[in-house]
Structures are given as structure tokens and as C-alpha cells.
Amino acid sequence: MYSTIDQLRIDYTVSELCQYFNISRASFYSWLENGKPLYKCWDEWLACKIEEIFKETFKGYRYITYQLKRKFGVVVNRKTVLRYMQILGLKSPIRKKRFESCTQKEINEKARNVHYNVLARQFKANRPLHKLVTDVSYIYHKEGRLFISVIKDLYDNSILAYTVSKFNDNKLVFDNLDLVFTSEWDSTYECILHSDQGFQYTNRQYMEKLDSLGVTISHSRKANCYDNACCENFFSHLKSESLELNVPTNEQALTQQVHEYIGWYNNDRPQEKLKGMTPIEFRNTYLKEHCFY
């Protein structure tokens, strides 16, 4: 196909030819820059699907490999997908591996109730709702910022609940807790909820609420964000894969974009740690095996 365009561009413009063959001009020029490589096993349908998935998500070759299997039933080696992407000139934005600031707010030490680090970086869980982690982070739009609180299940990395607010206060955290720990919660159910030592997680009301629910409280060591790296990791994905690629214009747009991303993250973002399944797919597999349906 690229060779055909190369031959015909004497009589037609590259734009016209690329539009006719339904490929991007960038991928054609990338092919030229790579020295017009010839591949015996070039699959035009596969190339189109790879480009289609990339344009929808801007994700890397691992994600696209999983989606080819999930959406089209096509099993292909990830290195093959990477080679196609290189030829097509498709490159996913690089996510910086960094953690957000771990600085603790200066508060009255006497009012803080710090528990042991029960989780102790044991981030693998054998069943849903056994090990949960929670945290608060800044999220920005073009006119300012909001705060988001999430609760994440370490069994399948799903986001069980999230709350967005203008204020980083106790209400933000408590509203989020109420989405998971409803009136139907069984207080005999063994559950650990891990957080950092933020003021919302060390006050007396927080302790009393979780104690009444039979939930084991776990705190990170002071100023050690790696003890809650799982939440930090999710915030990093949220920002690099959505909020930094397309900065929302205002509060309403930011809230909607967060809502759409978390829905996509839970239902349509396969993860290598989950055997190529999405969090909800992985969770449903457990529920089926244990007769919860």
C-alpha cells in the first residue's frame, strides 16, 4: 500500500492518496523516513485496526494487543503490534514515572490517631473487598483545581468509589466512604482500608466510623508515599492518560472527564497484572467461580 502511494504520488497528492487508502499522512511519511521497508507478512486489516485503537486511546502496544484480542478475537504477538506501530509512526505519550508530593500537612499531633502499617506493601489480595486503599489528590482544569478522593480494591485494581469536591476536607473523604460502606455492609467481613497519615484519615471521627464497620485501619509510615503506591499509581494514570492530554475547561468538564475515565478504566482498560482482562472482567471471573451469580 505504501509502495503504491509512493508510485502514484507523481500524479496525485499524498493527501488524496492517503485519504483514498484510509491511512494517515504521518504514517506514510514515517514509512519514507524508515527507508521504505518491505514486509512480506504485512496485514492491511491488522494495521488499520491497530491505528484505529491507537487513535481512540493513544495507548501503547501492550494495551492494543489486549484490545485486539478482546474486541476482534485476534491473538497477535505484542512485538508484532510494536513493529506495526513503528512502521505506522504511532507512538504513545510517555508517562513519567513519578509520585506526587508526600508532604504531610502540619496539624496538631495530639489530634492524630495513627495506626500501624497493617498492609505493609502487600498489595496482592486473594478476593474482592479484602484490601482497599484510599487517597486524595489534586486535579486541575483551565480555571483552577478540584480534589478527588478514591477507594481502590487491590484484588482487581478497580475503583470502587470516587468523590470530587472543591474542598480537601473530612466531608470529601466521608462521602466517599459512604459509597462503599453502605447500610448493607457486613461488619463481620474481614477488610483492611489503607491510607496515608493525612488529617482526614487520622481524626477521631474517621477512626470511630471504621471501627463501627469492623474495618481494619492501616496507615502508611509518615511521609512515605511508597506505602500507598497503588493509589499514587492510579492518580498518575488518570492525569497522564486523560487530564494532561486534554485539559478540561472548567469544573463541570473536569468532573465529567473524571467520570468517563474511571468508567473506561474499570470496564475497558485491560491490565497485564490481570491476565489481559479489565478490572470488572477480572472481578466477574471471581464472582462466577464462587457462585455469586
Distance between CA atoms of residues 258 and 212, nearest Å = 31
Q: What is the pLDDT of residue 84?
A: 86
- Does 1 score more than 80 pLDDT? no
Contact 160, 191 (CB under 8 A): no
Report helix, strand or coil for 160. Answer: strand
- Quick one: which of 205, 264, 232, 226 has its CA closest to 148? 232
> 51 vs 26, 55, 76, 82, 141, CA distance in Å?
12, 6, 15, 12, 29
Task: Report whether 194 contacts 220 (CB < 8 A).
Answer: yes
User: pLDDT of 178-208, one tens digit each?
Assistant: 999 998 888 888 999 999 999 999 999 999 9
Question: Given a cut of 90, is residue 219 above it in pLDDT?
Answer: yes
Residue 293 pLDDT exceeds 50 = no
Lowest-pLDDT choice from 67-76, 211-220, 278-287? 67-76
**CA distance between the termini of the chain:** 50
CA 83 – CA 78 distance, rounded (Å): 9
Mean pLDDT in residue range 217-225: 89
Task: Give me the pLDDT at residue 98, please.
Answer: 52
pTM to 2 decimals? 0.71
Which positions ≥6 away from 89 have C-beta within 8 Å?
24, 26, 27, 29, 30, 31
Can you give the C-alpha Rg of the chain in angstroms? 23
pLDDT of 107 = 42
Residue 291 confidence (pLDDT): 62
| Displacement of CA 18 from its chain's centroid (Å) | 34
Q: pLDDT (tens digit, 9 = 90+) per residue, 110-132?
A: 557 888 899 999 999 999 999 99
**Residues 156, 274: contact at Cβ < 8 Å?**
yes
State the average pLDDT over residues 12-24.
Answer: 81
User: Distance between CA atoms of 123 and 228, rounded to whole angstroms?
Assistant: 9
> Mean pLDDT, to the nearest integer, of 156-178?
96
* 267/87 Cα distance (integer angstroms): 30
> With 60 as the cut, is the pLDDT of residue 109 above it?
no
Domains and CATH numbers, the chain: 1-88 (no CATH), 131-291 (3.30.420.10)
pLDDT at position 10 is: 79
pLDDT band of 101, cuts 50, 70, 90: very low
Tally Cβ neighbours within 10 Å of residue 101.
10
Q: What is the mean pLDDT of the chain?
A: 86
pLDDT at 250 over 90: yes
Is the pLDDT at 41 greater than 70? The verdict is no
Q: What pLDDT shows up at residue 45? A: 85
In this prediction, residue 187 carries a pLDDT of 82
Neighbours of 127 (CB within 10 A): 12
CB-facing half-sphere around the CA of 213: CA atoms within 13 A: 20
Please tell me the distance from the alpha carbon of residue 140 to that of residue 171, in angstroms, as a whole number: 20
